[in-house]
Amino acid sequence: MRRCLFAVFVAAVAGCAPSPERQAAALTSTAPVTAERVRESRRFDTTDRNLMLQASVGVLQDLGFTIEETQPQFGVIVASKLAGARIRAQVVLRSIEDTRAISVRVNFQRVSFAPGATLPRGDTLTDSEIYRGFFEKLAQSVFLTAHEI
């Protein structure tokens, strides 16, 4: 009986493993992935992580988002708003090694539920204007705060 259960468990786990081709494809950088990273990321010449977190939260709120979760120690902010559909924004701050700069990456997704699904699906929004608007407002906020205007 135990061997039978173990065999079923091993078969189930093996069936969930991705093929070597899929593993290699997941690790290969493609032009669309690079373009996506460029669209979603900006570098700011500051080491003030709290300033960047506060400015990011402020910009999201100005854009109509409700902050759902913040993890300041990890530099993560999650927010959402209803605009016809539910839109989720995720901001991640990362210090850039050997520089005095912080990288900010934001991702906007339209959240939907597929029929019969229990978990929501997030479709990344690819409109460059959304990202450009976020980063323009963020740069403005950081500038005004840094100069105490």
Residue 25 within any structural domain of the chain:
no
Residue 43 within any structural domain of the chain:
yes
DSSP result, 32-97: HHHHHHHHHEEEES---HHHHHHHHHHHHHHTTPEEEEEETTTTEEEEEEEESEEEEEEEEEEEET
Residue 10 within any structural domain of the chain:
no
Closest among 110, 107, 94 to 134, alpha carbons compared:
107
- The yes-or-no verdict on residue 10 having pLDDT over 60 is no
**CATH classification of the domain holding 63:** 3.30.310.80
Residue with tokens 């081709």: 21
Residue 6 within any structural domain of the chain:
no
Residue 9 within any structural domain of the chain:
no
Q: CA-CA distance, 53 to 9, in Å (whole number)?
A: 44
Q: Which residues contact 66 (CB under 8 A, 6 or more apart)?
A: 79, 80, 81
pLDDT number for residue 32: 75
Question: What is the residue range of 119's domain?
Answer: 39-146
Contact 127, 83 (CB under 8 A): no
Percent pLDDT > 70 in the chain is: 79
Residue 2 within any structural domain of the chain:
no
Closest among 15, 23, 90, 91 to 53, alpha carbons compared:
91
Residue 32 within any structural domain of the chain:
no
pTM above 0.75, yes or no: no
Encode pLDDT of 26-74 as tens digits. 556 566 778 888 889 999 999 999 999 999 999 999 999 999 999 999 9
- The yes-or-no verdict on residue 16 having pLDDT over 80 is no
Encode pLDDT of 62-96 as tens digits. 999 999 999 999 999 999 999 888 999 999 999 99
Residue 34 within any structural domain of the chain:
no
Number of separate domains in the chain: 1
